[in-house]
Amino acid sequence: MPIKGMTDRQAQFPKLGTLRKGEPKPDGSNRPGKDLEGFRFDSDDAAATEAFLEAFGDEPRRVNVLLPFRTAAENFQAWREEWTASSLKHRCDGETMTLWLNGAAYSQAPKACTGGCKPVGRLMVIIPELRRLAYVTVLTTSIHDIMTLQENLDAAEMLRGDLRGIPFVLSRRPREISTPRANGQRARTEKWLLSIEPAPHWVGHQLQVMERAAPHWVGHQLQVMERAALPHVKALPDGQHVDTITGEVLDAPRFEDPEGAIEGEVVAVSPPAAKPFDRAKAIQRIRELGRQERDLGSEFAEQNQENLLVLEDLSDDELLDLGTRRKERVSALKAGRVVADAVST
């Protein structure tokens, strides 16, 4: 029997660390650390830290990531928050607080914002190179980052429907930003902002998979993608990140410090949707088509060399081909056409 809220949630996995944009806070200060041009992986897990350094080096500007949830809204959360040195005072949407410190405990009763809050965006990602089924939070307090990430994720969700299983590249790029100055004028400064896009090699891999299935359909997909202005298709190295994730053993959840508990609760995640070829079903279908062919009175059906094939020994592709041929012959017979190629196989 599950304990409600503890053991009845499915497939949970822990937080492994945070991808930050700045240096650590200076000792004894509450000021944010200096802004970097790359990512700083902040984790108390030594093995993960080492794996990150080995894969991406110090302060990389690009990191490969997967998203654990289906939708943009589940993977990316943006709030306004008020923090003291050690704890969250309130979280709101700019008008109404959804979490606020009421004495020693948090309340979730809706209440008007009391001010003093700043934007915070948290994107949950899985970094395949860490080879751990644990998520990493990408943290930003820039309103420009929040808007860009939201746009990028919405676009990918609109195109694919499901963000799981897509290898993304999270990157920092320099952009000119106009900021207000004390004298009322505006100044242009360069900021290294975040963006997230599907990895170009994945787009290539997807196309190869599609091409094997149905060449004419690929042409159509290409047009759709071109209209959606996806990155240009390039050569594909692997595209197998998903397997390294689903094959991993779950790490035991670790206890979080108070900040971590607010920042990233342990969450539920379902594995990326996989649609393996169902051989048993295909064989069953091919036999059924064979019966239909004979019932429809094809004199060739009985003599067809295909009948000698041991279906269980065929590859997935051969099964697909055979099924397609039989289906075409059955529809031709139903339409009253003569089937001439039945014995030529």
| Binding flag, residue 99, Zn ion (CB under 5 A) | no
Distance CA 284, CA 287 (A): 5
Could you tell me what percentage of the chain is helix, strand and coil, using 3-state DSSP and rounding each to the nearest 5? 35, 25, 40
**Of 93 and 321, CB closest to Zn ion:** 93
Binding residue count for Zn ion, defined by CB under 5 A: 4
**Of 93 and 278, CB closest to Zn ion:** 93
Residue with tokens 């508990």, as numbered in its chain? 261
Please give the structure tokens belonging to residue 46: 């030594």
Site stretch for Zn ion (CB under 5 A), options 105-113, 236-244, 321-329, 335-343: 105-113
Say how far residue 12 (Cα) sits from the centre of its chain.
16
| Binding flag, residue 19, Zn ion (CB under 5 A) | no
Smallest gap, in angstroms, from Cβ of residue 154 to Zn ion? 24
| Binding flag, residue 101, Zn ion (CB under 5 A) | no
Q: b/e string for 221-250 if b means 16 or more Cβ within 10 A? A: eeeebeeeebeebeebeebebbebbeeeee
**Of 71 and 98, CB closest to Zn ion:** 98
Smallest gap, in angstroms, from Cβ of residue 92 to Zn ion? 3
Distance CA 141, CA 138 (A): 10
| Binding flag, residue 92, Zn ion (CB under 5 A) | yes
Smallest gap, in angstroms, from Cβ of residue 179 to Zn ion? 22
Residues 292-321 that bind Zn ion (CB under 5 A): none
**Of 118 and 334, CB closest to Zn ion:** 118
| Binding flag, residue 80, Zn ion (CB under 5 A) | yes
Smallest gap, in angstroms, from Cβ of residue 146 to Zn ion? 15
> Considering only residues 113, 236, 266, 309, which one is a binding residue for Zn ion as defined by CB under 5 A?
113
207 touches 222 (CB < 8 A) = yes
Say how far residue 233 (Cα) sits from the centre of its chain.
19
> Considering only residues 66, 67, 78, 117, which one is a binding residue for Zn ion as defined by CB under 5 A?
117
| CA dist list (Å): 143 to 41, 120, 158, 193, 289 | 21, 8, 22, 10, 59
* Sites of contact with Zn ion (CB under 5 A): 80, 92, 113, 117
